[in-house]
A and B are shown apart, each in its own frame.
Chain A
């Protein structure tokens, strides 16, 4: 399968723990996006990369969140000191160019107890 893959698909953690999600985009795509989706909402933009450069971060991305894309390939999204409000589906998407369609992974669902 050469689509966007995300790992883990599901994560249950206790409040205060750190979690990390990984996204492997389609290999020739230079843009990678992270979105968060909560119940009843559409995907909300968190951050995006062009190659290894992080170009924009949403105000939703507090200082507990950090994202990296070393070498411009896979990306990680880390949440430190998780809170119950962080419970959501974290979606990764990639695109070949800025104005192209997004190819999404199946998401990583986080539950913070």
Chain B
């Protein structure tokens, strides 16, 4: 059974700090890696879908990298803002199978 691990579980940062989270997944038979942001009382929203080793994607102050050979992805947030407070979920799959999610990293940005 595919296992996706995320660290840290939770994180508190000051407004303006930059931060990063880790997602690890099995590298064998890798298909895709997804990052989602889940704000309280809202639905999870996709940030990135990544498939290629070495891929880097960016959306505003948020970026992600992917290493499929060693089975990890990093999510970076530059200059954190209070509105970045959310749970960040990583998910992966092997072959064209349903995504398996990690437990998420809960980020709190303190103004």
Contacts and interface: CB of A to CB of B under 8 A. Distances in A.
Interface of B: 4, 6, 31-32, 34, 36, 41-46, 49, 51, 89, 91, 96-104
Consensus secondary structure, chain A interface: loop
A33 interface: yes
Given A33-B98, A99-B51, A42 B42 contact: no
A85 interface: no
Interface residues of A, number: 24
Contacts, number: 54
A45 B99 contact: yes
Contacts of A99: 31-32, 49, 51, 96
A36 B41 CA distance: 16
B43 A45 contact: no
A106 B98 contact: no
B35 to A, nearest CB: 10
